[in-house]
Structures are given as C-alpha cells and as structure tokens.
Amino acid sequence: MITYLITNDNSNTRLDVFLNEKYPDFSRSHIQNLIRNEDVIIERNNKKLEKLKTGEKLKNNDKIFINFKEPKKIDLSPENIEIEIVYEDDDLAVINKPQGLVVHPSQSTKSGTLVNALLYKLNNLSGINGNLRPGIVHRLDKNTSGLMIVAKNDFAHVNLAKQIENKTCHRIYEAIIDGRFKEPEGEIITKIERDKKDRKKMAVSDSGKIAITKYRTLEFFRDYSLVEFELKTGRTHQIRVHCKHLHHSIIGDDVYGGSNKFKLKGQCLCAKKIVFEHPKTKEKMEFEIPLPLFFENILSFLRKNNAV
C-alpha cells in the first residue's frame, strides 16, 4: 500500500491528473481501472470518500492510499529475442535495447517486442503498469537504442518511477544532428503535447506539459554535430522534438525532418548512460555502453571525410 498526503501544491488537482504525475508511465485506462476497482482510496477528515470519480478534486490534507494488487496473468508469449542484459539482480535489470525493437505490445501487436523478450529472459517482472507493459518503468522509441531499467517487482517499480519523476535518475543520450546548434551547450525548455495535425507525432506548444533537455556538443563536423543530451523530463519523443524545435533534427529521423544520407533505419540516437539509486540497497548504480556499431561507423566516416 502506497500513501500520499496532499499539500497545498496539489490542492484542487484532479485525482487522475495527480496519479498520472506520480506514475507517468501508467496508461490512462490503467489509472481509471485503479480508481474504478477501488484500489485508490481517499481519506478526507479521517473519513473514506465513497464512489470516487477520476475527476475528484483533491483537497489539502487528503490522504491517498493506492493498493497495487498482484498482476493478472499476462496473456503474452515469451520469445527468444536477442537482447543484452547489462546487469541483473532480484529487483531490477538494466538492458541494452537494440534499434528497431518495439518496447511493449499493444492491442494489435502482441509479439516481437522487448516485453516478449523479457518474459523469456527474466523470471519476474513488476505488474503495476498493466498486463501489456510488465516491468517497463520508462520507454525508448522503437528506433532509439540503448539503456533501459526494467523492474522485477512492484516495490522497485514505484521507487524507480519516483526517481525519474524527481529527476534523481540521470539518463544521458548521444545523437548526431544535422548542422550545429547556435550555442554549443545549453538547456531547452518548452512545452510538448500531441501534434494537433498528426496524432502520431509530438510538437512544441503553449499548452502541453513542460519538457526540459540539457545538451552539450561533443564534436563538430562540417555538416553535422555529435551532441550529448540529458533528459530532465520524460516526454514522448522529447529529444527528437527539441532538436526539430532548434531546426537541427537527428539524422535518420524521418518523422521529425532529419536527413538520411547514410540510409539509416531510424534516428541516430542512443541512450548511452544511466545513473540511479538502487531501490533497496540505496547504492549508486551507474552504467554506460559503447555506441552501436552503425553509430560508430558514421562517426568514423565523418572524422575522415567531414572534418571542420
């Protein structure tokens, strides 16, 4: 049972909005089901509120109790898909997701995903994120490679999700972009929401959720740059959208305007490093991987043929 005490900062916030902020990787339907199934309880003035609605407005000093039940049987098949497990213990695993692998199934796609591979490779996965996303604390886009943390129980899942929310989990990426940013390093702060003209894309807007990305240029070429990014928030497609916003898309990103001279199968973006605190031992955990071979090959070509 997880407990929260509402303060003035969250007073008058809708219950579903509050839960979405605490558990950003939960689907809307999963949050609605938690409330509908009475797995979420609100005590106000020491009395339990009856017949909670998703839009219930929270008040100062409300107590929220969340009961994460044992997950239902996952109707997905384990598949022997090759993935690299960088680290594993009883609570979590750190994996290196290859480019081109979808992270979790959907109602229409229930095979060939990272989740199918995890069901084959790992004995346990957390279940609080729904039956189609066991163990998934945070996501990478299909065509983004690199490090992900996978939770093996609900305690670890909640703890790791809070670290991401509180910005104490550090996620470092590298990408090759077209051209170079006006400033070699800085911080991009915008709001991001679903593109109103194309629901498959995200866009910078005045009404979305805050998105913060730090960046630092590591290497300049004549027509390109190697850039390091650190996510301070975790919006969908955040780095890709922010690059487009600065008019320098990631190469290979055909969704957000990146060039594709190198005939890539997706954006040249890798989650290279991750730092977090172990949920139980409180030990600092730090992992870093080499860039994928295709990424290194492009860098080698640019160093020889596109030097400044």
Over 90: is that where the pLDDT of 116 sits?
yes
Is pLDDT above 90 for 215?
Answer: yes
Domain membership flag for residue 49: yes
Write down the pLDDT at residue 13: 92
The predicted pLDDT at position 33 comes to 83
Q: How confident is residue 1, by pLDDT bands cut at 50, 70 and 90?
A: confident
pLDDT category of residue 185 using cuts at 50, 70 and 90: very high
Kindly state the average pLDDT of the residues 112-124. 93
Residue 285 lies in a domain: no
Among 15, 43, 66, where does a domain finish? 66
208 CB neighbour count, 10 Å cutoff: 16
Beta strand pairing status for 63-66 and 92-97? unpaired
pLDDT for the residue 105: 79
Task: Give the Cα separation of 32 and 40 in Å (integer).
Answer: 10
pLDDT greater than 80 at residue 186 = yes
CATH code of residue 243: 3.30.2350.10
Choice among 62, 141, 154, 178 that is catalytic: 141
Q: How confident is the model at residue 89 (pLDDT cuts 50, 70, 90)?
A: very high
Question: What mean pLDDT is reported for the chain?
Answer: 91
Assign 168 to helix, strand or coil.
coil
H-run or E-run covering 265: none
* Residues 90 and 148 placed together within one structural domain of the fold: yes
User: Residue 289 domain-assigned?
Assistant: no
pLDDT in tens, 20-59: 788 765 667 778 888 988 889 999 999 999 989 999 999 9
| Within-domain flag for 227 | yes
**Single residue among 131, 166, 201 that ends a domain in this structure:** 166
- Supply the range of the domain harboring residue 22: 2-66
Are 148 and 113 in the same domain?
Answer: yes
Q: Which of 66, 92, 113 is the last residue of a domain?
A: 66
**Same domain as 144, residue 77:** yes
Give the residue, 285 or 308, on which the prediction is more confident. 285
Same domain assignment for residues 60 and 103: no
Residue 267 has pLDDT above 80, yes or no: yes
Full-model pTM = 0.77
Taking each helix axis from N to C end, the angle separating 15-22 and 154-165, rounded to the nearest 10 degrees, works out to: 90
Is 277 part of any domain? no
Would residue 223 show up in a list of annotated catalytic residues for this protein?
Answer: no
Any domain includes 283? no
Number of domains observed in the structure of the chain:
3
